[in-house]
Structures are given as structure tokens and as C-alpha cells.
């Protein structure tokens, strides 16, 4: 595949209670957005661990996006707190490693925010397109 | 110093406040952990080579929780013990630390900045250790040179698991580094994103910088250059210093307001 043909592959972790419903709402409302992402539903953003980001990027994923309920709205009370704290450490790791920390992102989308889902996804995909293929692909 | 240690351990055993003392024993030229009891011959007790005992102490909580045990520990081992206790691997109430101060040469060899245990009973604390650790300068990140540096370092790995086996704070029942779902078997070097980065992430809030992993690594990967940097980040972000306060909960096990996460409290996980 040549440089021109490259299209990003993005993995989006959506929590079952807010963000997945938000994504669903965006779909039902026929909101247009890029199609470079695959959604992986998890019960809570707290289910996300940095290990998944490493594994995904090793296997050729160019960007990892984690979406959960807004802070204070977590169905499990504090799952998104955990996700947020883990993410901060993960970002620091990316910096020390020399990989653009912008390849990973965490944000909050509630079940009623279909429009917001469209907006954050569009923005993230555009950012990853700008960054180009992940240097971690292939994992060596 | 071994002679001094034998005297101290004999005294502790004679007092009878502990059921036994965990230390190192030399047996036909080989040194390993040994549980000394009152009346045992202490002539075989030695202090070196350095061997991290905290994971051995974990055995007592699992299999003999009512045993009061003394342990001859260096400063780094005591800090490891604190981290293990926060994760409910050891019971600090049941352990009496017999502090061993490393000699100046030993401290220098390890690049130690943290120094002696709180209660030094053997040896004299080394004065004038550097206050902060000096890190190697990493290549610039923008043109990919930094990632290339790590790739070159990690590609030396022969997957001996020495860094994991020797680590005094690695205490998971099932290790992700040994799980073929995470790290594919049968190929060298292991893919570093899952092998080394997962380990580094797990070290971010528990590494106590004993640098035993680097000493064990047969191909000299500068492992703690990454772990140490993450520790500084965790300290800056969450005001958390590993191995210091047994009461302070690890930041990745608390909420954004530093309150305990409920499920952890109830189930005793960690």
C-alpha cells in the first residue's frame, strides 16, 4: 500500500451505558462521519486498560479512542475515574517512548450526545490522518 | 558485617517477640533465603549477594498468617514491602524489619538515592548519597529517534523473564508477560509493545527502584530508565512516592479525589 492510499485504522472503546448509546443515537440520526473506526463495546470505560492500547497498536491500529460517561455519571460510580487516571500514565509513557501522545485519547459522551459523538470522532480521525501510520505497527 | 548481623539476629530471636527471622543462608557455597528459628546455628547467616526477600515474606501471609516474622531487609526491600502491603500481599503488623544499611560501595553500585531502611540495626547508613537520580538523556522524539532507541534496546531481549522473576514488587497470580494471549510464544525478541510496555505500565505506581531487574538482565536493557521516568510522572501527577507511606493508597486504585474505589475495599483486590 502506498502512502497515498493509507487510511487510518482506529479503535474506539465505548462504554455500554453512555457512549455506545451515544454512538447509536448518532447512527439513528444519520449523522455523517468518517468510517475509519471500529467500535468495541465494553461495559464501562474502567474496563479499558493501557495494555489494550499497546496490543492494538502492535497489531496495526493507528489510534485508540476511549469514550465513557461524563465524570459523575458512571453507571458503576467510579469506573471512568480509573480510566482517566490510567490514561494519564499511558500518555506519559507515550511521551517517554517517543510516540505522539495524540494517538490515544479519552473523552466523555453521554447517551443523549449523538452530535457530540459525531464531533469528537470526526476530530480524532482527522488528527490521526495528520499523524500518519503508527510507528508501533508491526510491534518491533 | 555478617558477624554483627549474627549478633543482632541472635538478640532478636532471644527476645522472643518473633517466631523466627528470615535472612540469607550460605549452604555449600550457594546463598538463598532461610528462616532461622531460636536455637538455630547462625554461623551460616550471610548478607550478600543481594537477594530480594519481600516476595518470600508473602508466603507467610498466604500460608502461615499467625507467624510473627523478623526479616533482615535493606532500604529498597523495605520499600518493596510497603508496596506489597498496600496490595495486601504481606501483613506489616506481623513483620519486624531488622534494617540492614548497605555499605557505601553497595549503594554506589546500585546507584542508590533512597538509602537505608527506617530502623537500621546492622551496619551504618551511608551519608551523602545523591538526592535525585540522574537519567540518561533520551534522543529527540520528533524525528522518531527516541522510539528507535527503545526499539534497539528492547530488541536485545531474549525473554529470559529475569526482570520479572527478580522483581520484589511483581506479585500477580497470573503474569501477562507469560500469557500467550498477550505475548506470542516461540519468537524472539518478544514484541516490545506487549512485553516491555505492559511491564513498564505495571511498574509506574509500584517500582521502588532497587534496579535488581537491570542487574539481572543478561543483555543490559536500561529498564529503569523507563520505570524511573514513569515514577516521577506519577509523583508529579498524583503526589505519590512509592514505598514511602504504608497508609497512602496507590493512585491507580483510587478515584480522581483520591478516595478508595469501593469494589477494591470490599473485595480486597488490588
What's the CA gap between B226 and B112, in Å, rounded? 17
Whether B30 and B96 map to the same domain: the answer is: yes
Count of domains in chain B?
A: 2
pLDDT value for A139: 43
A57 within a domain of the structure (yes/no): yes
Residues B99 and B207 in one domain: no
**ipTM, 2 dp:** 0.90
Contact B201 A139 (CB under 8 A): no
**Residues of chain B with C-beta less than 8 angstroms from the C-beta of A74:** none
Q: B198 and B103 share a domain?
A: no
Q: Which residue has the higher pLDDT, B270 or B46?
A: B46
B contact test, residue of A78, A83, A100 with most B CBs within 10 A: A78
- State the average pLDDT over residues A72-97: 93
DSSP-assigned letter for residue A99: S
For residues B169 and B228, membership in a common domain is answered with yes
Q: Is the dihedral of CA B5, B7, B12, B16 positive or negative?
A: positive
To test the contact with chain A by mutation, choose from B175, B190, B201, B203 the residue with the greatest count of A C-beta atoms within 10 A, namely: B201
> For residue A136, is it within any domain?
no
Q: Determine what percent of chain B is predicted with pLDDT higher than 70.
A: 97
**Boundary of a domain, candidates B122, B154, B184:** B122
Q: B65 and B15 in one domain?
A: yes
- pLDDT of residue A140 exceeding 50, the answer is no
Same domain, B152 and B197: yes
Measured between beta carbons, the chain A residues lying within 8 angstroms of B182 are 51, 55
Task: Measure B255 CA to nearest chain A CA, in Å.
Answer: 5
pTM: 0.90
The verdict on B87 and B149 lying in the same domain is no
CATH number at residue A29: 3.40.50
Q: Span A104-128, mean pLDDT?
A: 96
Average pLDDT over residues A7-14: 95
C-alpha cell at B224: 529503569
Report how far residue B148's alpha carbon sits from residue B175's, in angstroms, rounded to the nearest whole number: 27
Q: What pLDDT, in 10s, does the model give residues B94-146? A: 999 999 999 998 888 888 888 889 999 998 998 888 888 889 998 988 888 99
Q: What is the pLDDT of residue B127?
A: 85
Is A112 part of a structural domain of the chain?
yes
Count CB neighbours of A32 within 10 A: 8
Instruction: Give the domain range for residue A84.
Output: 10-131
Please check whether residue A139 lies inside any domain of the structure.
Answer: no
Q: Which of A131-135, B7-11, B183-187, B244-248 has the lowest mean pLDDT?
A: B183-187
Please check whether residues B46 and B114 belong to one and the same domain.
Answer: yes
Beta carbons within 8 Å of B197's beta carbon, 6+ residues apart: A54, A93, A97
- Taking residues A18-46, report their average pLDDT: 95
> Taking residues B220-234, what's their average pLDDT?
95
Q: Domain total for chain A?
A: 1
Instruction: Sort out which chain B residues have CB atoms less than 8 A from A135's CB and list them.
Output: 144, 147
In angstroms, the separation between the Cα of residue B192 and the nearest Cα of chain A is: 6
B193 → chain A, closest CA residue: A54
Comparison of pLDDT for B49 and A10, the residue scoring more = A10
In a domain, A1, yes or no: no
Residue A138 lies in a domain: no
Q: Do B197 and A97 touch (CB under 8 A)?
A: yes
pLDDT at B96: 94
pLDDT score at B171:
85
Read off the pLDDT band of B259 (50, 70, 90): confident
Residue B131 lies in a domain: no
- pLDDT value of residue A136: 87
Residue A17, min C-alpha distance to chain B (Å): 19
pLDDT at B92: 93
Closest Cα partner for B209 from B181, B184, B232, B193?
B232
Residue B137, in any domain of the structure: no
pLDDT score recorded for residue B270: 41
Question: B152 at the A interface (CB within 8 A)?
Answer: no
* A117 assigned to some structural domain: yes
**For chain B, percent of residues with pLDDT exceeding 90:** 62
Residue B161 has pLDDT above 90, yes or no: yes
Q: Which domain holds residue B80?
A: 2-122
The answer to whether residue B130 sits within a structural domain is no
Same domain, B13 and B118: yes
Give the C-alpha separation, A139 to B114, whole Å: 35
Which one, of B80, B88, B84, B125, lies nearest residue B103 by Cα?
B125
Question: Does the beta-carbon distance from A82 to B261 stay under 8 Å?
Answer: yes
**B201–A93 C-beta distance less than 8 A:** yes
Same domain, B243 and B186: yes
pLDDT at B269: 40
Q: Which one of A53, A84, A85 makes the best mutation probe of the B interface by having the most chain B beta carbons within 10 Å?
A: A85
Q: How confident is the model at residue B39 (pLDDT cuts 50, 70, 90)?
A: confident
| pLDDT at B202 (0 to 100) | 94
The pLDDT score that the predictor gives to residue B262 is 62
- Least reliable range by pLDDT among A99-108, B195-204, B250-259: B250-259
Query: So what's the pLDDT on residue B185?
Result: 85
Residues B149 and B263 in one domain: yes
| Whether the predicted pLDDT of A138 surpasses 70 | no
Residue B79 in domain:
yes
B52 Cα to chain A: minimum distance (Å): 27
Average pLDDT, chain B: 90
Task: Give a yes or no: residue A4 inside a domain.
Answer: no
At which residue does the C-alpha cell 505519590 appear? B240
Cis peptide before B189 (omega within 30 of 0): yes
User: Are both B112 and B196 inside the same structural domain?
Assistant: no
Q: Would residue B234 count as lying in a domain?
A: yes
**How many CB pairs lie under 8 A apart between chains A and B?**
93
What average pLDDT does chain A have?
92
For residue B150, give the nearest of A51, A57, A97 by CB distance.
A97
CB atoms within 10 A of CB B178: 13
Amino acid at each position: 500500500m502506498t502512502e497515498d492510499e493509507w487510511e487510518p485504522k482506529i479503535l474506539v472503546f465505548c462504554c455500554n451505558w453512555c457512549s455506545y448509546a451515544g454512538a447509536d443515537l448518532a447512527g439513528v440520526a444519520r449523522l455523517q462521519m468518517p468510517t475509519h473506526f471500529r467500535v468495541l463495546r465494553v461495559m464501562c470505560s474502567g474496563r479499558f486498560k493501557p495494555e489494550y492500547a499497546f496490543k492494538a497498536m502492535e497489531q496495526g491500529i493507528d489510534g485508540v479512542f476511549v469514550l465513557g460517561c461524563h465524570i459523575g455519571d458512571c453507571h458503576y460510580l467510579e469506573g471512568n475515574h480509573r480510566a482517566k487516571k490510567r490514561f494519564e500514565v499511558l500518555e506519559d509513557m507515550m511521551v517517554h517512548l517517543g510516540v505522539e501522545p495524540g494517538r490515544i485519547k479519552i473523552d466523555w459522551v453521554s447517551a443523549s450526545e449523538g452530535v457530540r459523538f459525531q464531533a469528537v470522532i470526526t476530530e480524532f480521525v482527522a488528527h490521526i490522518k495528520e499523524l500518519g501510520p503508527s510507528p508501533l505497527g508491526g510491534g518491533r | 558485617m555478617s558477624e554483627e548481623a549474627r549478633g543482632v539476629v541472635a538478640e532478636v530471636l532471644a527476645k522472643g517477640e518473633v517466631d523466627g527471622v528470615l535472612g540469607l543462608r550460605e549452604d555449600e557455597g550457594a546463598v538463598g533465603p532461610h528462616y532461622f528459628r531460636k536455637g538455630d546455628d547462625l554461623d551460616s547467616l550471610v548478607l550478600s549477594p543481594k537477594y530480594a526477600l519481600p516476595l518470600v515474606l508473602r508466603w507467610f501471609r498466604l500460608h502461615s498468617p499467625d507467624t510473627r516474622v523478623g526479616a533482615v531487609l535493606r532500604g529498597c526491600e523495605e520499600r518493596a514491602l510497603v508496596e506489597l502491603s498496600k496490595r495486601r500481599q504481606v501483613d506489616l503488623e506481623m513483620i519486624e524489619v531488622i534494617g540492614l544499611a548497605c555499605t557505601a560501595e553497595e549503594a554506589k553500585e546500585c546507584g542508590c538515592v533512597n538509602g537505608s531502611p527506617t530502623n537500621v540495626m546492622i551496619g551504618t547508613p551511608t551519608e551523602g548519597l545523591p538526592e535525585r537520580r540522574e537519567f540518561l538523556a533520551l534522543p529527540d522524539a520528533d524525528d522518531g529517534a527516541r522510539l528507535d532507541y527503545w526499539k534497539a534496546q528492547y530488541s536485545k531481549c531474549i525473554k529470559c523473564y529475569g526482570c520479572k522473576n527478580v522483581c520484589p514488587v511483581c506479585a500477580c497470580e497470573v503474569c501477562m508477560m507469560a500469557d500467550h494471549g498477550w505475548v506470542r510464544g516461540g519468537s524472539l525478541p518478544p514484541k516490545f509493545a506487549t512485553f516491555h510496555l505492559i511491564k513498564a505500565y505495571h511498574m509506574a505506581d509500584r517500582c521502588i527502584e532497587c534496579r535488581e531487574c537491570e542487574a539481572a538482565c543478561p543483555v543490559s536493557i536500561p529498564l529503569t530508565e523507563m520505570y524511573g521516568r514513569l515514577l516521577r510522572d506519577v509523583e508529579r501527577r498524583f503526589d505519590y512516592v512509592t514505598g514511602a507511606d504504608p497508609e497512602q493508597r496507590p493512585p491507580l486504585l483510587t478515584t480522581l479525589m483520591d478516595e478508595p474505589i469501593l469494589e477494591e475495599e470490599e473485595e480486597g483486590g488490588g
